[in-house]
Amino acid sequence: MNVVEAKEIRKYFPVKESIFNRKVRVVKALDGVDLNIEKGQISSLVGETGSGKTTLGRILVGLVEPTAGSIKIEGVDITSISRKQLKEIRKRTQIIFQDPFSSLNPRMKVKDTIEEPLKLNHIDFDQEKIFRIMQAVDLKPPEDFLNRYPHELSGGQKQRVAIARALVMSPDFIVADEPVSMLDVSIRANFLNLIRRLNAEYNVSLLMITHDVSIASYIGKEISILYLGKIVERGETKEVINNPLHPYTRALMDAIPTLGKKEKEIEIKGEIPNPINIPPGCRFNPRCPVAMEICKEVEPVLKEVGKGHFVSCHLYK
């Protein structure tokens, strides 16, 4: 059973060229994205800054409204329901933001931060539930953290509070938006293990958003590679990591630091293009080292080239 089913998700942001020019142009943050996440599954969404991955994550939990497309959470299309119904659905979806330093209210104690979503949604709870959640995220003993303010916590402890705040609502689906990117490298592995353990204990579906392929390869059952608002490759994580087909995916794999590694097989040039001026044809063609003439004219479609392995590239006809 799929907890999340997203089809043809598009998000366009209108932007004025300048205060003197009324012409409005469009930023195509997402341009037709499909994504399914099974019950209890961890899926990874990988892409560079500017690829649209955070926008997609916020759309999936109802924080941002898509320009077009449909999103079903446990069979309910959240793009075609009332605000009251959406509020009920959003109780079952949560998000963990990238920066724990800004996602917590500096004036609220840990206890109040974790209890806040329960109070806002008029959900009965007791102190025992708060203690259980805090212990689950390794804020032990809970008594030592209840009355602390964010400035009295380390970066890792802040992110644990943010995870506890998400879990306390007993959600069916959580979006984790780069949850370890602001943490020291020395504690990232512990956090990824914590997320895997919580996924197993609470049977919660999770979308891990990251720019780091190594994180995605460690934590997710399935992986989607997002480039400039389009998914260019997706499939089971082991299959995509062991057999990357799209040149962009292969370049991301090459970027993973490895001791004794030889020269890169594929090296992409420049930065991701401006989403206002998306290149014609394949949107990766200006940076692709194996681009052909057809790549500059015809946009490839995402098609299955192996069991459950999809790629959007003219190299695979």
DSSP string, 72-117: EETTEETTSS-HHHHHHHHTTEEEE-S-HHHHS-TTS-HHHHHHHH
State which fold the 2-92+171-311 domain adopts: Rossmann fold (3.40.50)
pLDDT number for residue 271: 79
pLDDT number for residue 101: 84
Taking only the tens place, the pLDDT of each residue in 123-155 is: 888 889 999 999 999 999 999 999 999 999 998
Tokens of 102: 């800004």
Q: Are strands 205-210 and 42-46 parallel, antiparallel or unpaired?
A: parallel
Q: Which residue ranges of the chain lie beneath pLDDT 70?
A: 17-19, 21, 257-266
Tokens of 293: 């003439």
> Contact, 209 vs 226, CB < 8 A?
no
For 54, the enclosing helix (H) or strand (E) is helix 53-60
Residue 128's CB is within 10 A of a number of other CB atoms, namely 8
For the entire predicted model, the pTM comes to 0.91
Domain edges within the chain: 2-92+171-311, 103-170
Distance CA 111, CA 18 (A): 46
pLDDT number for residue 261: 53
Q: Are strands 303-306 and 309-311 parallel, antiparallel or unpaired?
A: antiparallel
145-to-131, 132, 255 alpha-carbon distances in Å: 10, 13, 39
Taking only the tens place, the pLDDT of each residue in 271-304 is: 788 888 899 999 999 999 889 999 999 999 999 9
Strand ordering across the sheet containing 42-46 = 93-96, 173-177, 205-210, 42-46, 222-227, 230-236, 309-311, 303-306
> Contact, 110 vs 168, CB < 8 A?
no
Give the chain's count of helices (H) and strands (E): 10, 12
